[in-house]
Chain A
């Protein structure tokens, strides 16, 4: 049982994700004529993966806990508009804008969380409501306060260095945030008791509550985490691009869910891993952005994403069955 074992690796939730990642790259190399050097030297897909990945981590935790948050689609523009209006239009210090953006994330997360634990309405519907509501709030607020739907923002150098610079002229600094957050989330989910609580809650909420887990508080915390993370991504985007728009972000809903599911998380909860979610975002980014490196017409990319999603889900199902029936050979 010590050391590396194929059996142990096979029953990990991220196995399917690792396989899809390799398979997608192999597909592009073989059929698209992509050179690996060009792909790994390019920033576009890693930038894409980092923005997606930061949102996918907490949403993935929510999914493991048996809930879903699609309001992130509105929270990304909400985050960038908050900081742009506060620090760009009203010229308040950038720190105030950041706090404002994150505070809005916390607030929306609290609303999502409280509504989910207090009612029996599925979180998909509740966050659909907050998705649309936040969209409206941001658009109307922006037009009333600034008279437009796009606001410029000039961030000071220190803020740009931490949240919105381009390393080597092309890699967004948010990639480092993504790596760091992956480590933190991985530690929390897999090494602490809170991670165990999240799995238990997603597996059987009633039993988890009977075992003394504060399921309500935990769930609210997870919702706060996901909308704050989305707001953070929006905030970093505004600092990087020196402006914010009310539109955009809707693609994230679909992209996040796909990358989480490709990453081996069970849609109904109770199973998944952070490495899987990380690899899922990476795989999704390669499919989505890698097509530009190929000779393939990029109109095909959605077809490839669809096929990849289906095969990933089927594969993950198979691996989960294997994991369930896996019995290590007995030592005699």
Chain B
């Protein structure tokens, strides 16, 4: 049954900052080789949830389980060592560093001895380029290139490849496609599928329903810090999900309202709310 034990599970997790409750009663699980899509509008508590998963915040109440065992992260470093890696919107990479150097930040390979331990540029570049190419990004073939010269999609891919190379089991992707064009986003989605194929548990945070539907196995919609809906692939249509994210008020209703207003006001859209 070990196959069915979720790698990461949240049980009734609450998080509040002083008097402000940000997360209420969140229960989630993600298994190996599964993509969990976390959907939610701005301010729904996605960032707080990610930070709680990544060890930045400690839950106020509730438990986090890894492989069925309760865990507590002392900080982001601890969570990383336990196999939880977060990749941020802009890749969390260093634009003016070379691919090889930024790939190995904090864990640089060295050769030599004592005070003359020298950063091993050749090895670093070779490993970094190979790791990225294994994810299908064959355009990256020179580890000396600066990260800032890569496209947004390539940077995301580099960051994901890095996380996987350093033993991530759970990959948290924080809006990886938000700032990307259509083609670049497709690129990243392919990488997500590849990570899933390799048996990683992926938590994919987005507010783009299309992107979520393309890779997700399991979906959770977050509204004002609580899970408003939890369903599996194919159980809801795109429109239903969008409506859920907009807070229950259906998008179609809203459009109809605007339409009526414009008809009765000579084609003028409604004035902004005061």
Residue B178 lies at the interface, judged by CB distance under 8 Å to chain A: no
Stretch from A111-119, A197-205, A281-289 contacting the other chain: A197-205
**Across-interface contacts of B93 in A (CB, < 8 A):** 204, 207
**Can you offer 19 A-B residue contacts whose CB atoms are under 8 A?**
A191-B119, A193-B108, A193-B110, A196-B101, A196-B104, A197-B105, A199-B97, A199-B101, A200-B102, A200-B105, A206-B92, A207-B88, A207-B92, A210-B77, A210-B92, A212-B77, A212-B106, A266-B96, A325-B149
Tally of B interface residues using CB under 8 Å: 29
Which residues in A have their C-beta under 8 angstroms from that of B117? 192-193
| Stretch in B138-146, B193-201, B202-210, B213-221 touching the partner | B138-146
A193 touches B149 (CB 8 A): no
Residues of B within 8 A of A330 (CB): 141
Q: Does A24 contact B (CB under 8 A)?
A: no
Is A203 touching B110 in the complex (CB atoms < 8 A)? no
Contact of A192 among B101, B102, B118 (CB under 8 A): B118
Would you call A195 and B106 a contact (CB within 8 A)? no
CB distance from B229 to the nearest CB of A (A): 31
Q: How far is the CB of B82 from chain A (nearest CB, A)?
A: 14
A326 engages B149 (CB within 8 Å): yes
What's the least CB distance linking A245 to chain B, in Å? 38
Q: How many residues of A contact B (CB 8 A)?
A: 33
Question: Bound state CA distance, A197 and B77, in angstroms?
Answer: 16
Which of A11, A193, A330 has most chain B Cβ within 10 Å?
A193
Chain B, 132-173, CB within 8 A of any chain A CB:
141-142, 144-146, 148-149
Among all A-B residue pairs, the 8 with the closest Cβ atoms: A203-B94, A211-B106, A193-B108, A212-B106, A271-B96, A207-B92, A200-B105, A324-B149
Instruction: Give residues 182-231 of A contacting B (CB, 8 Å).
Output: 190-193, 195-197, 199-200, 203-204, 206-213
- Shortest CB–CB separation between residue A156 and chain B, in angstroms? 31
**Across the interface, do A196 and B105 meet the contact criterion of CB distance under 8 Å?**
yes
What 1/0 mask marks residues of chain B from 73 to 89 whose CB sits below 8 Å from any chain A CB?
00011001000001010
In the complex, B107 has a CB within 8 A of chain A? yes
| Min C-beta distance of B197 to chain A, whole Å | 26
Q: B162's closest neighbor in chain A, by CB?
A: A211
Contacts of B80 in A (CB 8 A): 210, 212
Distance to closest chain A CB from B164 (angstroms): 15
Judge if B270 is at the interface, Cβ distance under 8 Å. Answer: no
Q: Is A323 an interface residue (CB 8 A)?
A: yes
Which residues of chain A have C-beta atoms less than 8 A from B119's C-beta? 190-193, 195-196
Contact B145 A199 (CB under 8 A): no
Residues in chain A near residue B43, CB distance under 8 A: none
Distance of A268 from chain B, by nearest CB (Å): 10
